[in-house]
Structure 1
Amino acid sequence: MRSTLRRVLAVGAALALIGVATPGAAYSQADPESCNELLGPDTPAYVVCHWLAKPDEALGVALFWGADDGANLKGAGPVDGKFIDCSAAGASCPKPEDSVEGDENSPLPEGAGDDGAPQCEAGQQCSVDGHDAGGSSERVAENSSGLPPATTPTPTQDAAAAAAAQTPAGQAITAAKAAQFRIWIDTELADDWKAGPEAFAAAVKRIGALASRPEVAGIRFTSQLGYNKTFATNDEIKAFVAAASDALRQAAPGKRLGVHTVVPELACGADDACKAEMRKRHPLLNPEQVESPLIAGRVDQLSLDTGLLYGGYDTWKINAEQAHRNQWIQVRARSWDVLTQVAAEETGLVGQVSADQVAIRLSVPVKDGAAQQVNVWTRVQGTQGAVNRLTAWDEVKKLNPIQRRLAAVYDPASPEADLATDLKKLSEAFGQIYLTVT
């Protein structure tokens, strides 16, 4: 519903520029300026027409400017503006000898450096062809996504990227590219951060080299954040997310960053007793704390696990389907999709599942507009070592209309058959892949 309303508002804003408006801003049918009669019978009810200039008015405008061989048009001049009389006493105007020399075939202005940027002194601002170029190293340009633009790699970075491409993880990225996947690197930096600055810096450098390749869309740098026992306080979590985000923005500029977690309270719906108990059991996972890094712009994607939804709420007579629905209603109500991209993390499709279960768990979060994609685990190893695998391949393939929104979570170090065979099979059902890198 919210998505539909957005489309209506966007259409209304665009059409208002050409004299068409939505009912809230439109003129009534009795308005002499109305041109609703020109609209077709199949025009949506929320679209109405208003003349900017009626035909007779438009004719009058044309006659005014064309009268007397265009005398009015010829006599028209620019509106009064601010001009400098260079001949006036005290006026400061550039001298001809101060201008940049060159012709239309000169690609760079006089005094420009090898990279095309003008030579500016520290703290000074100057420009080439109208584009500002600050001499201060503290000025950082941003693109439309709010992230620093990708910079030209240094020879050292090129060498690191080339070396990373030859590793097993790098070869998996190459193979996933050949299979036409949109690729994410799925890794864990929390333990490295806890181990100290040297271990953390080395891990970031290694992941950054892998992610520097253009086919890599992003990096998910931690999983089960706040649910596992890695961190004891919310302050620790905030410090880790801030450090990882800042470091990866520098090591792999322009790449999207993601985290994986779970918010047990969301599945309670309106049951206050359930919510109170979930806050007690999971003090680091209340919605406000999970939302904090989203507001700060630290991450670009939040993956929410659905594992607790199946059987975890029986005490409050909330079945799995209700818990699933409750979670995504809460996510949508909190507008987290405005703060970041939201993904559903689905681990419950391994083993024997019905067609209805596949449809509900994969399509509902997307259809309801709460999640933009669903990440699917195709194999899950239990605590006793037993491995459960995705068996409902035919059912997943039927969801072809949302294939680009389905991502497979895959560990190339533990292939089912071999890397090429596995990726070929996954590409039949999924448009994205999260490659586990340890």
Structure 2
Amino acid sequence: MRLRQLFVIGLALSLLGIGVPAWSADDPRGCDDLMAADTPAYVVCRWMATPEEAAEIARFWLDDDGRNMRDSGPMNPIVIDCTEDGAQCATDSEGDGEMHDVGSPDVEGSEDGGEPECPTAEPCFVDPDEVTGAALKQAAETPAGQAVKAAAANGMRVWIDTELADDHQAGKLADTAKKIAALAAQPGVAGIRFSSGLGYNQTFATAEELDAFVLSAATTLRKLAPGKKLAVQTAVPALGCGADEECKKALTAKRPLPDPDRVGAWLAQGLVDQLSLDGGHFATEYATWGIDAATAQRNQWIQVRARAWDAYAQIAAEDTGFAAPGGSGLTAEQATKTITERVAAPLQDDAAETVTLWTRWQDAQGRVSRVSGEKWAANPTWDQLKKLTAVRARLATLYDPVTPEVDVATDLKSLSEIFGQLYVRTA
């Protein structure tokens, strides 16, 4: 991330006509020889102090049994006597009012340095006034809670995937959010995705309603589930138009709520920590303007980079196109090509940091769409996905524990062979 920032800064300076000094090979402060041969040219190694200067600095402090270090002891502390006339001292500070040794527990039951102790069998960091112990226990026993436990046991990073938009509209967001917070407090949960298709579906009629929901949901969950990441999923069709103004105008009129500036504001305000962008519309939405799916995808990621959304949040690509009724019918060659275009490309374009693939879902009529064969049987697409071990941590999928393929334990063991992250759906 730091190298990317350095590169962007260097590029910006060059566009502004500001020169960046180049260090020659014989520069005594240069240390490029310590870097790998495939290090990009814009990454430069330079000693803050040469090895010789570092040795001199060390000798200065260590000679004569460290006399200079001892002589440089702490400055005279600033002491305030609260008994003096005119002195004002706070009387409502936290703590027990007693002195403690450095590193000793601040409160009974805490660990080194004052961190609250957290038994591995219990969830941590919840407000007992908001999420009770009974609620935590009840959440752990639900299908979603059991899926969280199984996923964590298989080394997967877990998100709770829920939909709070309807609850918000019905005035029930606070009650539902407490249940979600109890699930999110289970060990192994990194965050909560609180809405999908945000602004793209028909839940909200106006931009004001949409913004009010995002603010309310984020504020409520920050309070109930402190420390957990918050995510949303949507599609922003205008991003795929590239420089075609007619395309942007038409798609903005068609889908006015998921406006790029509005979505970017959610990120800049810190309301959302992860944004997943769906790509299901790439194949059909842009035909009128002669923009194919690959170009639309490329346009989107260029726009995302240009808007620097990744400076505020993690950006993810989401794809439902690998699954089909009964299982993927792609050949090995077709699967490789599709993975290259829709998994590798977003990652290599350096815009999306993770890719979420829908691997299984069941419609209202009970028909199941899968990527693998039935009961996780192998097929060419599943086999090709298994080869992506180098990017496992960047691959995610969704799982509904209410409608398992086999059972929760078997399902999550199979999914963990490909995916490093899991979105556990709630009823």
Settle same-fold status: TM greater than 0.5: yes
Q: CA deviation at 1:419?
A: 2.1
Name the structure 2 match of 1:271: 244
- Structure 1 305/359 Cα, relative in aligned 2: closer, same or farther at 3 Å? same
- Flag structure 2 segments of 5+ consecutive residues without an equivalent: 10-18, 88-96, 115-123, 373-380
Equivalent residue for 2:416, pick from 427, 431, 438: 427
Name the structure 2 match of 1:178: 153
Query: 2: distance between equivalents of 1:38 and 1:335?
Result: 31
Aligned 8 A contact 2:30 2:45 in 1: no
Q: CA deviation at 1:239?
A: 0.8
Name the structure 1 match of 2:166: 191
- Structure 1 361/79 Cα, relative in aligned 2: closer, same or farther at 3 Å? closer
For the pair shown, the structure with the greater C-alpha radius of gyration is 1
Q: CA deviation at 1:152?
A: 6.6
Aligned 8 A contact 2:358 2:398 in 1: yes
Q: Single out whichever of 385-394 and 156-165 deviates more from structure 2.
A: 385-394
Give 1:117-156 correspondences, 5 Å limit: 150=125, 153=128
Q: CA deviation at 1:286?
A: 1.6
Query: 2: distance between equivalents of 1:316 and 1:5?
Result: 33
Name the structure 2 match of 1:361: 342
Name the structure 2 match of 1:35: 28
Q: CA deviation at 1:272?
A: 1.1
Note if 1:402 corresponds to 2:387.
no
Query: 2: distance between equivalents of 1:405 and 1:279?
Result: 31
Query: 1: distance between equivalents of 2:220 and 2:125?
Result: 14
TM-score, structure 2 normalization: 0.73
SS of the equivalent of 1:247 reads helix
Equivalent residue for 1:371, pick from 352, 371, 390: 352
Give 1:301-312 correspondences, 5 Å limit: 301-312=274-285
Deviations 1:372-397 (A, max 9, x none): 10111113556887543214111111
Q: CA deviation at 1:113?
A: 7.3
SS of the equivalent of 2:233 reads strand
Name the structure 1 match of 2:256: 283
Deviations 1:8-50 (A, max 9, x none): 699xxxxxxxxxxxx94577789xxx52699859898844568
- Flag structure 1 segments of 5+ consecutive residues without an equivalent: 11-22, 94-99, 117-128, 132-148
Letter in 2 for 1:280: A
Query: 2: distance between equivalents of 1:433 and 1:280?
Result: 34
Query: 2: distance between equivalents of 1:402 and 1:80?
Result: 49
Aligned 8 A contact 1:189 1:244 in 2: yes
Name the structure 2 match of 1:219: 192
Equivalent residue for 1:345, pick from 318, 328, 333: 318
Equivalent residue for 2:401, pick from 412, 420, 430: 412
Letter in 2 for 1:377: W
Aligned 8 A contact 1:293 1:299 in 2: yes
Query: 2: distance between equivalents of 1:259 and 1:409?
Result: 14
SS of the equivalent of 2:281 reads helix
Note if 1:6 corresponds to 2:2.
no
Aligned 8 A contact 1:302 1:342 in 2: yes
Deviations 1:39-74 (A, max 9, x none): 85989884456877978x969x989x99xxx8xx89
- Structure 1 328/152 Cα, relative in aligned 2: closer, same or farther at 3 Å? same
- Structure 1 313/380 Cα, relative in aligned 2: closer, same or farther at 3 Å? farther
Note if 1:297 corresponds to 2:278.
no
SS of the equivalent of 2:231 reads strand
Aligned 8 A contact 1:39 1:49 in 2: no
Higher relative contact order (CA 8 A, sep 6+): 2
Name the structure 1 match of 2:12: none
- Structure 1 24/308 Cα, relative in aligned 2: closer, same or farther at 3 Å? same
Q: CA deviation at 1:329?
A: 1.4
State the number of aligned residues: 369
- Structure 1 326/49 Cα, relative in aligned 2: closer, same or farther at 3 Å? same
Aligned 8 A contact 1:35 1:50 in 2: no
Query: 1: distance between equivalents of 2:98 and 2:368?
Result: 72
Name the structure 2 match of 1:160: 135
Query: 2: distance between equivalents of 1:415 and 1:105?
Result: 51
Give 1:52-67 correspondences, 5 Å limit: none
Query: 1: distance between equivalents of 2:202 and 2:151?
Result: 33
Letter in 1 for 2:28: C
TM-score, structure 1 normalization: 0.72
Q: CA deviation at 1:328?
A: 1.2
Q: CA deviation at 1:7?
A: 5.9
Deviations 1:127-173 (A, max 9, x none): xx9x9xxxxxxxxxxxxxxxxx9357569622210111112222222
- Structure 1 366/29 Cα, relative in aligned 2: closer, same or farther at 3 Å? closer
Note if 1:335 corresponds to 2:308.
yes
SS of the equivalent of 2:230 reads strand
Name the structure 2 match of 1:125: none
Name the structure 1 match of 2:217: 244
- Structure 1 157/313 Cα, relative in aligned 2: closer, same or farther at 3 Å? same
Aligned 8 A contact 1:26 1:48 in 2: no
